[in-house]
Structures are given as C-alpha cells and as structure tokens.
Chain A
C-alpha cells in the first residue's frame, strides 16, 4: 500500500475498532486507539502474512505484547480477511473468539497469546530466534506498551534480543505516556526510552506514532539494519482520534458515559462518511 492507502487503512482500523468497542459497551479504548497507525503500517505494508500464508512458517510474525490493545488488532485482522466483520461484534461476549486479550487458539491471525504484560515480548524474541536458527528470511514484529516496559521481563527479552543480534526482530514501543493508574512519569519514570534501548544494544529510532508515513519509513530502515534488533519508539496519544477521550485523565478502560458516547458516535459518523462507508 502507498501512504495514501495506508492512511485510509488506518481510518478503517479506527472506525471498526470504535464500532467493535462500542458494541460491547466497555473496554480498553485508550490503548487500542493509540496503536491504530502502527497496525496500519505493519499490516498494510510491511508484514508479509495473510490468511493464505497462515500455516507457512516463512511468513512474518506479529505479537501484540500489550494484549489489552486486542480490539484494534481484531479490527485490523478482520479488514485483512482473517475473519468476517461480524465477529467484531462478539468482542468479549460469552463464548466469543475475540477475548479482551489475544488468544492464539481462538483467533485466526493471532500468533501469540498475550495479556499478562511483559510475556509477549519474550515470546517475540523466541519466535525471532527460532526463525533465525531455521534460517528463515522473515521478520517478527511486536508492540509493547510504555507502561508494560515497567516489567523486568521486558528488559530480559531486550537483553536476550540484543545479545543474539536478532536483526529479524522489530519492537515498537507505544509511548502514549500513560499506564493504568496515570502518567508513566508519575508512576515509574521511564527516563529516555531511546537512550535506554541504545544502551541495551538496539538500533533505535523515535517517530511520530500517528504518522503512518514516518512509521512506514522507520520500518523500511529497520528491515535493512544489520547486526542489531531494532526498536521504533512511537510518540502517541492514548485515546487518539477522539478529543474527548484523549483529554480524559483516566482513559485506559472506559465504560463511556453519555457525553463520551456522543463523542464516539460523532467520530464513527465522521470517519464513516470520510470512508464512504456511511453517507
């Protein structure tokens, strides 16, 4: 996809993520909305995987380490044809195939079960290492939260990836400045992620996490970088796309009140019109 198409793809992901979450009536709005553009760049252009190559070990792999962003991933996967749109409206319903946190045994297109923070990035290092040992010419992508990076296990994975020169691993940090209880800087100061990753032996770049163009270019560079794993730190906004939610202090998990619902409906309507899905 070209940049224009990627931007449209991002709009579609945001549109269906909102519809999906709103159908359920509650969920992880903040952290789903902040990863829309990176998902668009990954799935729209860089991830060599599709429903047809599901069982091909040579395809690319993706792990959503910040598992609570599941709803955005599901919207993306359904747009990529892994399952029908109707599934989105079963999010978290009794007996669903789309649980809050991704489950590799339930949802087509999900490579790893996540939700307990810190464990997904470790699994991603294992996938990348396995592919390296098997001499497969492919990539593993993983998204971690800035809050998730509190977990010591993340830094174990980071050391392991650097030590093993996993140049086939690309880590994305959704640096939306917030975790569950508030701003990361108030809870556990992350200092400078770029400096930290660099010191830990990563090829490091920081980009505007809501620019599919910037993200896409960073991925292109990361793919050809040799000898080190790469990290792309995404400057993002928790709840991106709906001003009212962006400005809310506690926007991690929402049960929208009337006012919020109005704002969400207005955004759905607006994006729907822009996309020509709604007229």
Chain B
C-alpha cells in the first residue's frame, strides 16, 4: 500500500463555496445566498457584485436568516444559508426543524468552522453537536466534507436535491484528498483496504486516519480507511463491508453522541454487531486553543487512532479465542 502524504489543497473551502454560488447563481436565477453578518468569514463578501440582490445579509439574526430562507423557498427560490456551525444548528434548531424541514422546503445550510477549527473563538463558537442535531431531522441529508473537490461536488448535488441538506465544513485549506473529476455518489469513499481493522473518519479526521494507517502498516497491521462524508442517509453496504475486518474505529471532530460514531454503531447494531471504538469528543465542551492542541485535548490524534486500533484488534483476537473454546 502506498504511503499517504499530507498535501494541502490549493483552494480554501470558503472560496470554493463562494465560487460555487457565483457559478450557480449565473445559471439559475432561483439561487439565493443568505448570510448573518459572517459574509466576510466565508468569502461571500467578495461576490457581492456577481450575486447582486441574491446575496442577502440579514445581519446578526440567525433565526431570521433561516426563517427568511424558508419564505424565499416558498416564493420559489433555492436558498443557500451560511453561518458558523453552532449558530446554524444549536441556535436555530427549531427554525431549521419546522420552517425548513417540517414544512418540506428545499434549502442548503453550510455550517462552517467544524469542531476544533473554531480555534480562538472558543466554546461558544465550537460545534461538536451540529451533526447530531441535523441527523435527528427526518429526511435531512447530512454531510461532513473533507476537501474542496468534494465540497464542490456536494454543493452541486445539494443544488439538485429537492430536500434539505446540511454541509459541515472548515473554512480554510483542507488536506487534499481527491483529484478533479472524482465522483461522490455513495456517501463513503474507500481510501485504502486492509484486513485487520477499519478506520471510518470524516472531515479533518480523514487525513489523520490515513496517517494512522501508515503507522499501522509499518507494524504489519493492515487497515481499511473510509471517508464517510455523508452521515445520512448512510451507505449501509459500505459500513457492512468495513465490518468484515471485525474491528471498527470511528474518528470524528464532533461529540461521540449522535455523529459519525453513532451513525456507524446504529448500522452495526441492527445488521452486524461488530466491535467498535468511537474516537471523538467525550462529555466535554469546546474551548479556545490551536486546532492541534485541541485535537490533543480531545484525543483526536493519529496516536490515539493507532493505539485504539491496536487495542481493538487485541479485543477482537480475544473474542475469537473465547468463541472458539
């Protein structure tokens, strides 16, 4: 297996979002973008001219932003809504739940500054539960994207989608994972295959999962790595394929309750009970700090993935001997 090397994406997630909006607003007069005084944070302040009156900055009013988007959808528009993830989810959950989803209106929310990448903004701005909240909404499609090629593709899919989509992203340059033209259809990308353990990750944890697989390989342990970019609906077949190794590690920049780890556990519990360990934020709130420091605080590290993978493999071997007695 080729060794994975970290290279940064040429583009930022925010410019990818802004460019997408310009392209699609040109193509379709129904496309509108909404901001709540965080336009400059996501680079849509640079596309004011191109968007004209279809870039709507409502001010610091997230509830109005979502409510207004629902009304725009009633009036026939396709709203793309951005604010920081905690405000897009925790702060306006009922508006998202009722005005958009219960009313069955089509819209896309981009929640930025995923988890620890909120850095110096700290606990008030650090979403560890947005995916959990969004996953609980009936029929919602929930993504966590890992690079700009993927973000562009997912935005295009969400544009076509007649329902509601939530897209969780970082704002700046991600690690590059995919090349131009790559298709994102099944909700899971298998990045590497191995027989001993499966590491299922999303967002910024995908490259860490790949680095962990490098280290494991050096010790003779072969890991499968999957990028689970669509948490809902989840690709059950791919999860069951991952379960073939008999040991599943999930790694997410999110609370272990309700996010990726839960989504995978739900499939396994009902279809194929398999040993799993969830790497993610456990019973903690956000705080200020550099992303690398925060990752260490919450155990979102390559070392932790490696060590948990080894422990889980041991557990698996032990169970095997127990059942064979």
A92→B61 contact, CB < 8 A? no
How many Cβ-Cβ contacts under 8 Å join chain A to chain B? Answer: 82
Query: Which single residue of chain A is at the shortest CB-CB distance from B64?
Result: A152
Q: Which of B40, B61, B87, B289 contacts A116 (CB 8 A)?
A: B87
Enumerate chain A residues within 8 angstroms of B41, measured Cβ to Cβ: 180
Proximity string of chain B (276-313) to chain A, C-beta cutoff 8 Å, 1 when within and 0 when not: 00000000000111100100000000000000000000
Give the docked Cα–Cα distance between A188 and B125 (Å).
Answer: 23
> Which residue of B35, B64, B122 contacts A181 across the interface (Cβ within 8 Å)?
B35
| Per-position binary interface string of chain B over residues 108-123, scored 1 when its CB falls under 8 Å from any chain A CB and 0 otherwise | 0000000000001111
A261 close to chain B: CB less than 8 A: no
Q: Complex formed: what's the CA distance from A211 to B69 in Å?
A: 42
Least Cβ–Cβ distance between A98 and chain B, in angstroms: 9
Across the interface, B287 reaches (CB within 8 A) one of A99, A180, A181, namely A99
Q: Mark A171-185, 1 if CB is under 8 A from B, else 0.
A: 000000001110010
- Write out, one digit per residue, whether chain A residues 107-143 have a CB within 8 A of any chain B CB (1) or not (0): 0000001111110000000000000000000000000
Query: Does A241 count as interface, using CB distance less than 8 angstroms?
Result: no
CA gap between A184 and B57 in the complex, in Å = 11
Give Cα A113 to B125, complex, Å: 12
Contact B124 A94 (CB under 8 A): no
A180→B289 CA distance, assembly (Å): 22
A181 touches B39 (CB 8 A): yes
* Among B57, B63, B125, contact of A152 (Cβ-Cβ < 8 Å): B63
Option from A95, A96, A152 in Cβ contact (under 8 Å) with B61: A152
Is B59 part of the binding interface, using a Cβ–Cβ cutoff of 8 Å? yes
Task: Give per-residue flags for B56-72: 1 if the beta carbon is below 8 A from chain A beta carbons, else 0.
Answer: 01111101100000000
Please report the C-alpha to C-alpha distance between residue A137 and residue B185 in the assembled complex, in whole angstroms: 64
Q: In the complex where A67-B124, A92-B288 touch, is A179 in contact with B37 (Cβ < 8 A)?
A: yes
User: Which residue of the partner chain, among A93, A96, A148, contacts B60 with CB atoms under 8 Å?
Assistant: A148
Give the shortest distance, in Å, between A186 (CB) and chain B (any CB): 9
A275 at the interface (CB under 8 A from B): no
Assess the B124–A27 pair: CB atoms within 8 A.
no
CA distance A114 to B121 in the complex (A): 11
CA distance A162 to B35 in the complex (A): 31
Collect the chain A residues with CB atoms within 8 Å of residue B45's CB: 181
Of chain A, the residue at the smallest CB distance from B288 is: A99
Chain B residues near A12 (CB-CB < 8 A): none
Q: Which of chain A's residues have a CB closer than 8 A to the CB of B40? A: 180-181, 250
A217 to B30, CA, bound (A): 54
**Given A99-B123, A101-B122, A147-B37, is A116 in contact with B59 using a C-beta cutoff of 8 Å?**
no
Q: What's the least CB distance linking A184 to chain B, in Å?
A: 8
Number of interface residues of B (CB under 8 A): 28
Known contacts A147-B60, A179-B59, A188-B61, A95 near B289 by CB under 8 Å: yes
A103:B57 contact, CB within 8 angstroms: no
Hey, which chain B residues are within 8 Å of A118, CB to CB? 60
CA distance A92 to B293 in the complex (A): 12
Chain A residues contacting B259 (CB-CB under 8 Å) are: none
Looking at B57, B120, B290, which has the most chain A CB atoms within 10 Å of its CB?
A: B120
A188 contacts B58, CB within 8 Å?
A: yes
Q: Does A248 contact B (CB under 8 A)?
A: no
Tell me, rounded to whole Å, the shortest Cβ–Cβ distance linking A57 to chain B: 26
B203 at the interface (CB under 8 A from A): no
Chain B residues with CB below 8 A from A273, complex form:
none
Asked if A103 and B37 sit within 8 Å, CB to CB, the answer is no
Partner of A187, one of B59, B63, B91: B59
Which chain A residue has the least Cβ–Cβ distance from B63? A152
A99 with B122: CB separation less than 8 A: yes
B245 CB → nearest A CB, Å: 36
| A100 at interface by CB-CB < 8 Å | yes
Q: Which of A26, A100, A150, A179 contacts B122 (CB under 8 A)?
A: A100
Query: In the bound complex, do residue A27 and residue B289 qualify as a contact, i.e. CB atoms below 8 Å apart?
Result: no
Asked, given contacts A99-B288, A116-B91, whether A27 binds B120 with beta carbons under 8 Å apart, the answer is yes
Among A27, A95, A117, chain B packs the most CB atoms within 10 A around the CB of: A117
A113 to B57 Cα, complex, angstroms: 27
Q: Which residue of B lies closest to A187 (CB)?
A: B59
**Chain A 184-216 interface 0/1 with B at a Cβ cutoff of 8 Å (1 = within):** 100110000000000000000000000000000
Is there a chain B Cβ closer than 8 Å to A2's Cβ?
no
Complex contacts, B288 vs chain A, CB 8 Å: 92, 96, 99-100
Q: Tell me, yes or no, whether B38 is within 8 Å of chain A by CB.
A: yes
- For the complex formed, measure the closest distance between the CB of A203 and the CB atoms of chain B, giving whole angstroms: 25
Bound CA span A179–B288, Å:
22
A274 within 8 A of B: no
Are B120's CB and A181's CB within 8 A?
Answer: no
Known: A92-B288, A116-B124, A152-B64. 6 other contacts (CB 8 A): A67-B124, A92-B289, A115-B122, A115-B124, A179-B37, A188-B58
Q: List 14 A-B contacts (CB under 8 A).
A: A94-B290, A96-B288, A96-B289, A100-B121, A101-B121, A101-B122, A116-B86, A150-B37, A180-B37, A181-B35, A181-B38, A184-B59, A187-B57, A188-B60
In the A-B complex, list the 8 residue pairs whose CB atoms are closest, starting with the nearest: A115-B124, A188-B59, A150-B59, A150-B60, A99-B288, A94-B293, A94-B289, A99-B122
